[in-house]
């Protein structure tokens, strides 16, 4: 019985680790694509609108 609990815990940890790895990979890929698009357009950054003030600011990575 302890082996089942151990392997279940290892499985859950592996799944959580895999999901966090995929999430981080997607974030890095999006940042790289955004940087490539900015280089192709000759821009210096991406502007995002602040919903509270209505002002545009550079996006924080």
Contact 58, 46 (CB under 8 A): yes
Q: How many domains does the chain have?
A: 1
Residue with more model confidence, 8 or 2: 8
Domain that holds residue 18: 2-58
- The pTM assigned to this predicted structure is 0.65
CA angle 10, 12, 17 (to 5 degrees): 95
Total Cβ atoms within 10 A of residue 41: 8
Average pLDDT, the chain: 92
């Amino acid at each position: 019985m302890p082996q089942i609990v151990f392997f279940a815990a290892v499985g859950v940890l592996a799944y959580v680790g895999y999901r966090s790895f995929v999430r981080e990979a997607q974030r890095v890929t999006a940042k790289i694509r955004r940087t490539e698009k900015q280089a192709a357009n000759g821009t210096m950054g991406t502007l995002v609108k602040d919903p509270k003030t209505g002002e545009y600011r550079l996006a924080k990575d």
